[in-house]
Structure 1
Amino acid sequence: MKITIISAGKLKESYLREGIAEFSKRLRPFTQLDIIELNEEKMPDAPSLAEKEKILLAEGQRLLKRVPANDFLFVLDVYGKQISSEELAVKISDLGLNGKSNLSFIIGGAFGLSAELREKADMKISFSRMTFTHQMVKLLLVEQIYRAFKINRGEKYHW
């Protein structure tokens, strides 16, 4: 299985980079993980709704261009379905069993996601109704993917 995480915005905090590096290392026996970070689009102070939509559209198109062909596309979206760790594990397992061995996850930038990007998703998921920085979500996502593989192998995944 190959998993690609594509995000708007680069990690700035060392503790987040270290956490992602740790879970990426733990994932190596289970899957190939690629993380692609694109620069966020610049948003003016107090943009109009039309300006915001135009900028989100451009950012969304850049993110979508990096999704490998035929990947199953998860989009992390505040309006997505909230699922448990076990449900994510089942979804990943089911996709693999049905011939979908390449998965992509998109994390939008600080200003959200375009409607076009949401429409292209095979599945929209939300980690919580709470708001997290998109940088923190990247760490949470890598940890949850690791947890999914541990669950699917019947291994202990929390204490």
Structure 2
Amino acid sequence: MMNNDHEILIDEVVHLLQGGNAHADIKKALQNLPKALRSVKPDKLPYSIWQLLEHIRIAQWDMLEFCKDGSHQSPEWPNGYWPKETGPESDETWEKSVKQIDKDLDELINLVKTGNLFTKIPHGDGQNILREALQAADHMAYHIAEIIVIRRLLDAW
């Protein structure tokens, strides 16, 4: 790929990770969310906004650590990726989760910007930074949409 094409690809992947184009980002999805609704599970839905937020945090962290660390151990699937509690223990717990998502997203973006997108991750089975970044963006967009649907069901969007 030509150098300019590589830069364009990096810019587009970063834009996608940040919730670009048709996707809302996590900040927009959580903006002005009443605290009381963080733990509400609407009728017949399997999770609350808190559980989705934590799932996003855990999965994104796992993808990032996989990219960086050959000795990283992923959580057990599926239980290690989904909290049992429907709500955070405290406002501090909520804020810590939001901040960790932001921090890990920034680190993933930096990895995209500085790493070779196409080189196989040595400890993987064919994955590369591009694939992991696209998976992270897709995963985030999917679950942000669910947060927005829950907010709409709760008349909070």
Same fold, TM-score > 0.5, yes or no: no
TM-score in terms of structure 1 length:
0.35
TM-score in terms of structure 2 length:
0.35
| Structure ranking higher in helix proportion | 2
Larger radius of gyration: 2
